[in-house]
Amino acid sequence: MDQTLSTPRARAGAELRRMCVIDRPLTPWVRRLAERDRHAWQTLEGAVRTAHADVITEAWPRIRAGFHAEAAWRSRIIAQQGLPLP
């Protein structure tokens, strides 16, 4: 979150414009984000922190366990069969 909040104005603006070109309108709030409006960035921070707390935090042990199980399974396959050739 700290890295996102410290994004330089030019980079934030460029990334937001790039995102909006795809399929999203450049709303007034997004425009304020691009301009590094303090209140817009505080709103973004609150939303990201809330989403993380409500969605990720509770599921994180399962996500992490799944990742480690997948990595262990793939490691065993590579150890047994080697890396596949293209």
pLDDT tens-digit readout, 40-74: 999 999 999 999 899 899 899 999 999 999 999 99
Question: Quick check: pTM over 0.85?
Answer: no
**Neighbouring residues of 48: CB distance < 8 A, sequence distance ≥ 6:** 1, 4
pLDDT more than 90, % of the chain: 48
- What pLDDT is stored for residue 40 in this prediction? 93
**CA pair distance 83, 80, nearest whole angstrom:** 9
Arithmetic mean of pLDDT, 16-37: 83
Arithmetic mean of pLDDT, 29-49: 91
